[in-house]
A and B are shown apart, each in its own frame.
Chain A
Amino acid sequence: MQVYRWTLTMALSIVHRATGIALYAGTLLLAWWLIAAASGPAAYAHVQAFTGSIIGRLIVFGYTWALMHHMLSGIRHFVWDLGYGFKANEREALTWGAAIGGIALTVLIWIIAYAIGGGR
């Protein structure tokens, strides 16, 4: 496949899929959180101990990024589905927007989370 030049849109296409698969597995975390909240204080404390740990924080941070990136990348696909943004400069701009926007939103969410006391 060496006739292909690796492009940004190709890379982001793979990342869209990879983040989708990661989010698929990540729903277990969401389900665990909800089930623990419904189960009682002890179960909920386990979840909080996990999400408060370094590994837990890294996973939740990664989950936040995967979610934000997949959403913005998905909106980009939606724009294409509607028939817009197919010119070379437009599709590059949309793709850069999704890549940078995903990181920016992730950082923003975590700044807000820490600001309101989620870091405790």
Chain B
Amino acid sequence: MSASDTPKRSMRTPLGRVRNLGAAHSGTSDFWRQRLTAVAMTLLMIPVLVIIMMTLGRNQAGAKQILGSLPIAVIMMLFIVASAWHMKIGMQVVIEDYVHNEKLKLTAIMLNNFFSIAVALASIYAILQLSSGV
């Protein structure tokens, strides 16, 4: 189905369409970011797999040396940011699909945000620590 097949006519006024930006109140930004982060992770997948493979069979000193190098640290941080963002949006979609109680839903969405941000920051902090003091 191409874009030209979608109906152009709508009963909604242009103002109504933009005022609340749909049921999510944020328009299509999550839809876009979900795909942006997906493409980013797909592009980063081979470098990340190579990095993880490089650390296999090595001890902490060896892993630290690999993970602490600038290009590798940057690739890992990009992957972590994309992952955390992607999974935050994905889990929110799951919550919105299955949790119908409004308060429970908002609580779950909050916890989802907390978890995703915490995992991302902890991982990034670890990488920064690995990068310094080598």
Contacts and interface: CB of A to CB of B under 8 A. Distances in A.
Given A20-B90, A118-B56, A120-B57, A38 B83 contact: no
Categorize the interface residue count of chain B: 35 or more
B2 interface: yes
Interface of A: 17, 20-21, 23-24, 27-28, 30-31, 34-38, 40-41, 43-45, 71, 74-75, 78, 81, 83, 86, 109, 112-113, 116-118, 120
B91 interface: yes
B5 to A, nearest CB: 9
Looking at chain A's contact residues, the main secondary structure is: helix
B119 interface: yes
A44 B59 contact: yes
B53 A37 contact: no
A75 B55 CA distance: 28
B87 interface: yes
Q: Among A17, A34, A38, A83, which residue has the most Cβ atoms of chain B within 10 A?
A: A38
A41 B91 contact: no
A37 B87 CA distance: 24
B129 A38 contact: yes
A27 B87 contact: yes
Interface string B60-92: 110110010000000010001001100100110
Contact of A31 (B35, B45, B63, B123): B123
15 contacts: A21-B91, A31-B122, A37-B126, A38-B64, A41-B60, A41-B61, A45-B59, A71-B42, A71-B45, A78-B38, A86-B1, A112-B53, A113-B53, A116-B56, A118-B56
